[in-house]
Each structure stands twice: as structure tokens, then as C-alpha cells.
Amino acid sequence: MYLKYLSAGGNNPVLDSAHTQNIRHILRELFGLGDYHLRQVESIISRPDLHARIHEKIQEIGQQVRKDNVKHIKSYVVKSLKNEFDTYEID
């Protein structure tokens, strides 16, 4: 799995919204997350300053899932994103 995050730079609400939607789609398609799980990470995935880092984290999570190191994928994805970004602050 290879995901590439493209940023136009600057503050573009339309682009930010599109990236958020893309992340939701990736989480649904790759890991089977439903609305319940997406609501748990909405405050994280809706932050434009984190989008590039979230894409990187999704790749890391995907590697762990493919290695069969994860039994409860949906819970693992939510917990991984929360652990990584819930306390993330803008530098």
C-alpha cells in the first residue's frame, strides 16, 4: 500500500475538506471502519495540520495489519490514531 498526500500549501478550506473526506474513505476501505469508529477519530482527521502525518500513520497501521499482528483491526486503528494524535499540538 502506498498513499501519497498532496498539499497545495496555504489555507484552502475546500482542499482541507477533500483531504478529510479522503482519509475517511481510506479508513473505511482499508480497515472497514464504520460511522461509529469514524466519529471517535473525527476531531483528529478533520485537522488539516495533521493530514500528512495521518497518511503516514495509516501506512504504518496497514503494515501491522498485513503482518497479521492485529486481531481487532477497527479498534487497533482507532486506538493508534488516538494515541498518536489526541495530544498532538501545533508547533
User: Per-residue pLDDT tens for 32-89?
Assistant: 999 999 999 999 999 999 999 999 999 999 999 999 888 999 999 999 999 999 875 5
Looking at the domain assignment, is residue 61 inside a domain?
yes
How many domains is the chain built from? 1
pLDDT score at 2: 44
Domain that holds residue 38: 13-85
**Cα distance between residue 48 and residue 89, in whole Å:** 12
Looking at the domain assignment, is residue 35 inside a domain?
yes
**Cα distance between residue 45 and residue 57, in whole Å:** 11
Looking at the domain assignment, is residue 2 inside a domain?
no
Output 8 or 67, whichever has higher pLDDT. Answer: 67
Helical (H) or strand (E) element with 51 = helix 51-66
Looking at the domain assignment, is residue 1 inside a domain?
no
Looking at the domain assignment, is residue 8 inside a domain?
no
Looking at the domain assignment, is residue 79 inside a domain?
yes
Looking at the domain assignment, is residue 4 inside a domain?
no
